[in-house]
Chains A and B, each alone.
Chain A
C-alpha cells in the first residue's frame, strides 16, 4: 500500500473519466453539426421564432460559424460548453439552455434522491437477508419479486400506481408537483408537494429495488462461499458476528458501487417516470424538447446526464478503492 501506487490509481481513474466526458462533448458537437439547415437559425430556433439579422450575425460570431469546422468551431464549442454556455432553446423563445436546466434540476434531484433512499433501505436489507438465508422461502419470494421488478419498466409501474392509488382509490395525486392555489413556502404547500412526490418516487424506487436486491443477494451469497467465512466459523463466531464482522462489509463492495453508479443513471432512468406524472423536472423538460425537436435543450440534457454519470462512476471507483484495500495498489 504505497502512496505512489494509490495516487497513480486515482489519477488513472480521473483521466479515464475526463476522456469519457470529452467524448460526450465531441458526440454532442458532431450531432449538432449533422442536423440539416443553417446552424445559426437552428441555434436561434429556426423558422419557429422570428429572428433579426443582428441576432444571426451575433450567433455566427459567437459560434464562429464562418470558420472551419475543425479545429476552430470544435474548440469554440468545447470552450463555450466548459463555461456552461449550451446555447439557446428553440421552444422557450431563446432562453438559455443552462437556465432552463437549472430551473428543472431541483425537482429531479428531490425525486431521485427520495427514491434512492427508499430503494437503498428496502432493497439492500431485503437482498442481504435473501442472500444470508438463500434457498429459503423468504429468499425465493424476494428474489422472484425483485427479478420481476428488475424486468419491468419503472414508468409502467408508475402508470399502474396512478390507476390504483390516484384514479381508483383517490388517495394520492398522480399529476404534477403542486396543487393550484396554495401559497408557496407554507406548510400546506410543502405537504402538498410531498403528496405529489409519493407516487413518482415510489415508481422510481421500485425500479431500483429490483436491482439492489439482486446485487446484494448475489454479493452476499458469494461472500458466504468464501474461505474466510469458514475461518470465521472455525473461530467460533456466532452467526450475527459472522454477518456483521466478515460478510457485511465484503458484500457491501458491489452494492455500494451500484448505489453510487445509480446516482448518475437514475436521473436518466427517471425521465420516463417524470413523463408519466408530468413531474416538472429534467424528464418533463426532455419530453417537451423531444416533442418540439428542441435540439439545444436535448443536448444540454445529454451533457447533464453525461456529466452526472461520469461523476458517479468516478466517485464509485474512488469509493471502491477506499473500501477494498486490494484495489489501492
Chain B
C-alpha cells in the first residue's frame, strides 16, 4: 500500500507478525500473524485475556522482546522503515526516542533506590545529550505537565501513591518526545477514581502533543474511555478490529460480544454480569481451527478444523466463520 501523500503512510505498520517463545526445547507461538496499522495521533486499544498475545505484540513493537522470544515471521515498519525488532542493540536508538512505554504497576517499574527526578531526567541525558542541569529542568517541567508539583521530584517512588507513580511513569515516557506511547495496563492496579484521572491525563496529553497511543488492557471499559479504535485478541490472533463505537454497538465476533457482556455496567440496570465460560486458551495445546471454538456459543461445522482469516467487514475486520459468508456476499455485491 505505497501511497503518494505523506498523510496516508501509517506511522506504524505491523505486518503478519509472529513471535515464538522457546521453552525447554518446546516452542510456543505467542502471536500468530498479527497485522494492523497505526496512524499518527491515533489511539488504539489492544484487548484480550492473559495469554492472548497483547503484551507480546506491544513488547515486539517497542523492541523489548525477552531473550527467549523469536520473531518467526512478519515485520514491523515505522514511518515506512523496517524496525530491527529482534536485534537488541540496533533497536536502542529507536527506544524511548520514538516509542516509549508506560508500564503497569509503576511501583516496580520505577527503580526504588533513585529519586524520581533522576529517573525522568536519565533518558534526557543519555539519549538527548542534555547536561544534568538541563535534564533536571526538563524533568521538573514534565512533572508539572502530569500534575505533580516540581518539588516532589526529590521523592523516592515508595513515598508516592499509586496514582502519583503512574503519573511519574507518564512523565518519564514523554521525556524524549516520542511519537508513540504504549500503555501496558497503565491503570490496572489503581482505584476507579484514580484510574479515570490517569486515563483523562493520557487523553489530554495525547491531543496536546499529538501522540499515537497503544493501550494494552484486559478491560474494555478502559478502551471505551480513551481509544478511537479497538482490536480484540484471542490466543495470539486478532479476532476483531473496529472503531470503539462500532464494536460496542455491534460486536461481530462471539468472543467480543461476551467480553462486552462481562463488563459490569451499573447504568444498564443489569444486576448480573456474565463471565465467559470455559478456560483461557492453552498456548501449548492450542485448539485446532478457531482457537475460540471450545468456548463459543455459536460454534458450527468447520470451526474446529479451519482457521478463520481476518477479513474486512464493514469498516473493520473480523475473523469468524459466522461472518465469512457475509464478506463473500459483500464482495459479490461490490463486483455486481
Residues of A near any B CB (own CB < 8 A)? 1, 226-228, 230-238, 241, 245-246, 249-250, 253, 323-326, 329
Residues of chain A within 8 A of B97, CB atoms compared: 236
**Assembled-state Cα–Cα distance A227/B62 (Å):** 15
4 nearest CB pairs, A to B: A236-B95, A227-B108, A228-B111, A325-B156
Q: In B93-131, which residues have CB < 8 Å from any A CB? A: 93-97, 100-101, 103, 105, 108-113, 122-123, 126-127
Q: Given A228-B109, A228-B111, A324-B112, check contact A234 B156 (CB 8 Å).
A: no
Contact B95 A326 (CB under 8 A): no
B150 at the interface (CB under 8 A from A): no
Contact A227 B64 (CB under 8 A): no
Contact B126 A326 (CB under 8 A): no
Cross-chain pair count, CB within 8 angstroms: 73
B82 at the interface (CB under 8 A from A): no
Pick from B93, B113, B123, B156: contact of A250, CB under 8 Å: B113
Contact B122 A227 (CB under 8 A): no
Contact B113 A234 (CB under 8 A): no
Residues of chain A within 8 A of B109, CB atoms compared: 227-228, 230-231
Interface of A is mostly: helix
**Assembled-state Cα–Cα distance A323/B113 (Å):** 8
Contact B126 A227 (CB under 8 A): no
Contact A245 B156 (CB under 8 A): no
Beyond the given pairs A228-B108, A234-B101, 13 more chain A to chain B contacts, judged by CB atoms under 8 angstroms and listed by A's residue number, are A227-B109, A228-B111, A228-B112, A231-B109, A231-B172, A234-B100, A235-B126, A237-B126, A246-B111, A250-B111, A250-B113, A325-B113, A329-B158
Pick from B92, B155, B172: contact of A238, CB under 8 Å: B92
Q: Given A250-B111, A326-B156, check contact A230 B122 (CB 8 Å).
A: no
Residues of chain A within 8 A of B191, CB atoms compared: none
Contact B122 A1 (CB under 8 A): no
**Assembled-state Cα–Cα distance A250/B93 (Å):** 26
Q: In B64-101, which residues have CB < 8 Å from any A CB? A: 64, 89, 92-97, 100-101
Residues of chain B within 8 A of A253, CB atoms compared: 113
Q: Given A1-B159, A227-B103, A230-B103, check contact A235 B112 (CB 8 Å).
A: no
Which chain A residue has the least Cβ–Cβ distance from B94?
A236
Contact A1 B156 (CB under 8 A): yes
Contact A234 B96 (CB under 8 A): yes
Residues of chain B within 8 A of A245, CB atoms compared: 122
Residues of chain B within 8 A of A323, CB atoms compared: 113
Which chain B residue has the least Cβ–Cβ distance from A247?
B111
Contact B113 A226 (CB under 8 A): no
Residues of chain A within 8 A of B127, CB atoms compared: 235-236
Contact B96 A226 (CB under 8 A): no
Contact B112 A326 (CB under 8 A): yes
B8-38 to A contact mask, C-beta < 8 Å, 1/0: 0000000000000000000000000000000
**Assembled-state Cα–Cα distance A326/B172 (Å):** 21
